[in-house]
Amino acid sequence: MAKITKAQVFNQMLKTCKHKSIYMLSPRKGKTMIPKTIEDIPPLIKLTRSKLYKSSYGTLYNAQMNLQKTKARPARVVKTDKPVVKAKTLVVNLSNTITATITDKGLITVDFK
């Protein structure tokens, strides 16, 4: 399993803020805004004990675990005894009295009973 870096967590924090419309007081610009860069996130929120940091780390961790699970599963091969046959016509029952037939050449016929 690859190590989750702080840069990855900070990028995930930015994605979360943008997705959930979380406004923060930017230390760089001095106004309340959705952070667009890592410098726009206040220093206290960058700490590993903050709620946003923990949730972003958990999101990345779960994504890695799900990726590992899908890689570990063997692919299933389904074998059938019947040969695959290409259909020459498609018959569609539109109602009890109307049937449409579409051929491989694009001819559509409608039968009324």
Burial 36-75 (b: 16+ CB within 10 A, else e): eeeebbeeebeeeeeebbeebbeebeeeeeeeeeeeeeee
pLDDT at 112 over 70: yes
**Better pLDDT: 76 or 28:** 28
Q: Give Cβ neighbours of residue 111 (< 8 Å, ≥ 6 apart).
A: 98, 99, 100, 101
Q: Where are the domains positioned within the chain?
A: 6-72, 80-113
pLDDT tens for each residue of 54-97: 999 999 999 999 888 887 777 666 676 666 556 688 888 888 88
pLDDT tens for each residue of 97-108: 888 888 888 888
Query: What pairing do the DSSP bridges indicate for beta strands 32-33 and 24-25?
Result: antiparallel
Q: Quick one: average pLDDT of 40-65?
A: 91
Please report the pLDDT score of residue 59 as a whole number: 95
pLDDT at 42 over 90: no
